[in-house]
Structure 1
Amino acid sequence: MSAATVPKALDHSHHLSDLARARESSPLKSLIKYMGKPGIISLGGGFPHPGYFPFDSISANVCAPDAFPLHDAPEGTRTNASHGVADVQKYGGDINLASALQYTLAMGIAPLRTFIRDFTTRVFEPAYADFVTYTHAGNTDAARWSIIVDTLFNPGQGYFTEEFTYPSAQATAVPHGVKPVPIKIDAQGLSAEDLRRVCVGWDEAAHGGMKRPHVLYTVPVGHNPCGTTMGAERKKSIYDICVEYDIIIVEDDPYYFLQQEPYALPQQRTASTPTTDAVDGEAFLSKLAPSFLKFDYQGRVIRLDSFSKTIAPGARLGWYTCSPLFAERFERQAETSTQNPNGFGQALVAALLTQQWKGVDGYLRWLRGLRAQYTIRRDFTIDAFARMFVLTPREEGDTTSTVLVASSSKDSKPLFEFVPPVGGMFIWMKLHLSSHPAHPSTPTEVDELERSIWVDLAENGLLVTPGWYFNAAELKGQGHFRISFSYSDEKEMVKAIAIFARVIKAAFGDNEE
């Protein structure tokens, strides 16, 4: 029967659930037509560089396809193989493939669970005794944020989050009837002052009958997309507000170990200015912003960690740290959804951490190296902008955060600004659209101009991620672009920033050399 004579499937859309109908396509669908364009440079993805994956190659000793006989062996000559049973060997040390590749506990295999518990205790220092750690499949889907949505929310409720936030978290919650409630951000991330303002002034009627949210979702380090990092003082302030208003904190922290030293412009550096540090493991940890767990004496923080940015996304592994109550509920749901995380990934990562790298200290040394590499990438990228624009520092309200304002020359109008990130993979740029000849004055005009400039960049061979992809609630992009420095090599990055400079200067009518 040829394809031309085979009937098409009927439309069975009337069988779809309300949840399935509520799912929307990705807001990045407008990027798709540019993806395959020859020569296109993409700074839009948040991918770790594959050169930083710790596996040079992977191999396994496998059974031959005829390992098992097709008939029973005569009495007295039977072996394991003749009974259809192969001798499964250990993958080194304590990593038993017979266990790792079997249906197993949702919490993960024992060697990996032990490592994670020890690592969490030493690095994050939870402030209560009975915290629980266990593995998940390292993704936004059922293993992580989706389980939290199912566990903590009823339809019609909302959650606090940054005014620009991780889009997959939003896309997961919206079909469940759970909406984001945006909180303002500044150079250090989510604003404690604005969180308190919203909590104090919450008006159910003004929010369509929604009760004040009882969950805060935040990416506190190397924020996606804003690149901001919360320090200890900010986290303590936010935690205290959450205690006062009984709010659960979901700390989604995949970029935690990619924290970096503050950026210095080339003219501000001296020969003695270190671009990376060579400290030992304990000094390295002392320089990192603490987790919310360090302030959590009530068990109200659900921390999400991932190996995706530090080992490899394909490992599909991460872990929760939370109270026994939440852990038990998450485990019950995992048992009927993802079950256990993938066994091959668990075996490989557990062997890497516990045997090849000899435990927590070895992993910390690896993390120190990654931190140095991403710092070098960040510095190279901002230095490239400094060659194409004049970058003028502007202090924010605190002394720890500096905004760099870009113009064509020292005396020309500002074109865009950004806070040099001290963590993660992203630079979050805010265009100075008030300097644009069109002088947009309404949110719609700003949104249309942002989209127009984004299209010009794409047509000229550069993909960046537009701000509207990340907006929470009804916000527009407000003239923002996210640029990733994690993936492209130096030659490609220089070319990309040259395209960016040419398009932005032309758009603003500012071609002064």
Structure 2
Amino acid sequence: MSLADLPDAIDLSHHLSVVARARRVSPLKSLQKYFGKSGIIQLGGGLPNPTYFPFVSLSAEVMVPESFTISPQPSSFEWLWKFLGKEVPYGKTTGISIPKYPTAPDDLNLARALQYTPAIAQPQLQAFMTRFVREVYQPAYANYAVLVNMGNTDGWNKALTTLCDPGSGVLVEEWTYASAMAAMIPCGVSPVPVRMDAQGMRDDSLRVVLEGWDEVQRGMSRPRVLYLVPVGQNPCGSTMTAERKRRIYDVCVDFDVVIVEDDPYYFLQMGAYVPREDRPSSSPLCGEEARYIASLVPSFLKYDYQGRVIRLDSFSKTIAPGSRLGWFTCHPVFAERLERQGETTTQAPCGFSQALVIKLLTEWRYEGYIRWLQGLGVEYRQRRDFFLDCLAEEFHLRITPASGGVWGGTDVYTATAKRGEKPGVMFSFVPPTAGMFVWMTLHVENHARFSAENQEPLEMELWTRLAEAGVLFCPGWMFAYDGFVDAPDGTVGSSNTPGGHFRVSFSNAELGDLRRAVEIFARVLGEFFAEE
């Protein structure tokens, strides 16, 4: 379907916060529309002269898009092991260079990239992001806008202050990204939990929360913003299906809710974990571009015919976190207000980062970036499989169906000791289907010193022992909505879930270190549960 066949977004300007409504075009930034006008003598802005920029050119060696296979095989994983062990540095590379001054008017150049610029992307990056959104996410309305930001953390903070006033609430999954909640609290905004299952937020629970909202009991108006991480959910690692997204979107239409789709792990979709003994020797993915894109679970944008989704994308997980570069896709009214905010806060993202990423994407082209993303997903899938294989070597893992809770509707792996005589489940988990994390439930109720009052101290005691033994996990309490605020009785009650939790990342450590970490975890856990 072409853009001409799609509707425009509906009017959602009533969702703007008091602060967002009050923003005006920055007086100095309003001059910038004239800076590129042919023949104009620019004496209005306080722009440094690029002659005095000390950078004559910017060069880098970059990997080629085909650096990673899209058909994982044992030989591929051996290459990865050598790569991470620094034995094989990079494979094939190509050089890129950005000059200080352009040869042609539209050439990428440092004189422009390193200058003060509007709070929008460089033209080449804007064109790339616009095409990428159109072809990969396929929004269901015509006049969506794409606006650069400094990554998803910056994007969420800007969206939060654009949509929320002090005293309001934001609907979140009962376990959710800790920094997102930490950003709300100083703004006087409260996280409002909604029950989860193995696909993330439940649409039926969302409807119950919104239908039964009591402003007197809750002390605030019904929330009009929903925040979630739908792919590789942080911390639980779940992925929301297309049908669940449709139903959640329909609920948000019924109750006039704006969805903030924070989706940094979108291209790290890796499918179900298969134990090593059942795994085929090779597992080819969709190599052809259109088939690959079709294999990914759709974004909320594909169902957004009203413009009520603000999607946050980032280059942090696909190129480098230090690039501090990402973008919004959203309603044009929201984009205009977000741009006004950027003018007086972050301005534009770093010119060095934009220049390097633009040059990289220009070298790779759209098709090359898609190929890079395919290979990247395979690499993280192999990392996940390796880590879970290590757990299977150190523990007896048994698969049991979950009867409910955040893992309802899927199979749970429960772990018992391979060594010693201590019975009982020590921890359980569901293999993530995307992202970078394994979410573990600790069964401290099987510890001799367990009581209802000391389950959280037991979690932190074990966490401390592991850290002192040389392995650092992320304690689970950070991701609980009520780690920040107390919700009324009967809402969700994640703090009443038995046991503790760890979020364990398999994304960064070298493979040998991952194996050693699991060995240490098994030893410390065995000692912990053996205590009387």
Q: Same fold by TM-score, threshold 0.5 exceeded?
A: yes
Q: What TM-score does the superposition give when structure 1 sets the normalisation length?
A: 0.78
Change (3 A) 1:424 1:285: same
Distance of 1:415 and 1:225 partners within structure 2: 20
Counterpart among 62, 84, 99 of residue 112 in structure 2: 99
Offset from partner CA, 1:205-244 (integer Å, 9 cap, x none): 322x111111000011111111111111111111111111
- Given the alignment of the two structures, is residue 357 of structure 1 paired with residue 368 of structure 2, yes or no? no
Distance of 1:416 and 1:91 partners within structure 2: 61
Aligned to 1:255: 265
Offset, 1:165: 1.4
Residue identity in the other structure for 1:286: A
Q: Secondary structure at the match of 1:463?
A: coil
Offset, 1:399: 10
- Given the alignment of the two structures, is residue 155 of structure 1 paired with residue 166 of structure 2, yes or no? yes
- The 5 Å alignment of 1:34-183 reads 88-89=101-102, 94-141=107-154, 144-183=155-194
Aligned to 1:35: none
- Given the alignment of the two structures, is residue 371 of structure 1 paired with residue 371 of structure 2, yes or no? no
Change (3 A) 1:147 1:58: farther
Distance of 2:164 and 2:196 partners within structure 1: 24
Offset, 1:316: 1.0
Q: Is the 8 A contact 1:408 1:510 kept in 2?
A: no
Q: Tell which deviates more after alignment, 388-397 or 454-463.
A: 388-397
- Given the alignment of the two structures, is residue 320 of structure 1 paired with residue 328 of structure 2, yes or no? yes
Offset, 1:434: 2.2
Distance of 1:458 and 1:435 partners within structure 2: 22
Q: Is the 8 A contact 1:90 1:97 kept in 2?
A: no
Counterpart among 279, 284, 287 of residue 292 in structure 2: 284
Offset, 1:284: 1.4
Q: Tell which deviates more after alignment, 432-441 or 260-269.
A: 432-441
Change (3 A) 1:399 1:190: closer
Structure 1 unaligned regions, length at least 5:
1-48, 63-86
Q: Is the 8 A contact 1:157 1:213 kept in 2?
A: yes
Q: Secondary structure at the match of 1:487?
A: coil
Counterpart among 484, 496, 504 of residue 483 in structure 1: 504
Q: Is the 8 A contact 2:98 2:359 kept in 1?
A: no
- The 5 Å alignment of 1:445-456 reads 445-456=454-465
Change (3 A) 1:224 1:510: same
Q: Is the 8 A contact 2:446 2:529 kept in 1?
A: yes
Residue identity in the other structure for 1:462: V
Q: Secondary structure at the match of 1:361?
A: helix
Offset from partner CA, 1:456-511 (integer Å, 9 cap, x none): 11121111000112221345485000000001111101110011111112222289
Q: Is the 8 A contact 2:152 2:313 kept in 1?
A: no
Offset, 1:295: 0.7
Change (3 A) 1:156 1:381: same
Q: Is the 8 A contact 1:433 1:440 kept in 2?
A: no
Change (3 A) 1:54 1:307: farther
Q: What is the root-mean-square deviation of aligned Cα atoms in Å?
A: 2.8
- Given the alignment of the two structures, is residue 505 of structure 1 paired with residue 518 of structure 2, yes or no? no
Distance of 1:328 and 1:50 partners within structure 2: 47
Offset from partner CA, 1:430-451 (integer Å, 9 cap, x none): 112222222322xx42211111
Structure 2 unaligned regions, length at least 5:
1-83, 487-493
Q: How many residue pairs end up in the alignment?
A: 430
Offset, 1:400: 7.3
Q: Is the 8 A contact 2:261 2:300 kept in 1?
A: yes
Aligned to 1:494: 515
Q: Is the 8 A contact 2:383 2:506 kept in 1?
A: yes
Distance of 2:196 and 2:107 partners within structure 1: 46
Distance of 1:50 and 1:218 partners within structure 2: 36
Change (3 A) 1:316 1:56: farther
Residue identity in the other structure for 1:312: A
Counterpart among 332, 340, 345 of residue 332 in structure 1: 340
Runs of 4 or more consecutive aligned structure 1 residues displaced over 6 Å after TM superposition: 49-62, 397-400
Offset, 1:92: 11
Offset from partner CA, 1:103-148 (integer Å, 9 cap, x none): 222121111000100000000010111100121111413xx11111
Aligned to 1:225: 235
Q: What TM-score does the superposition give when structure 2 sets the normalisation length?
A: 0.76
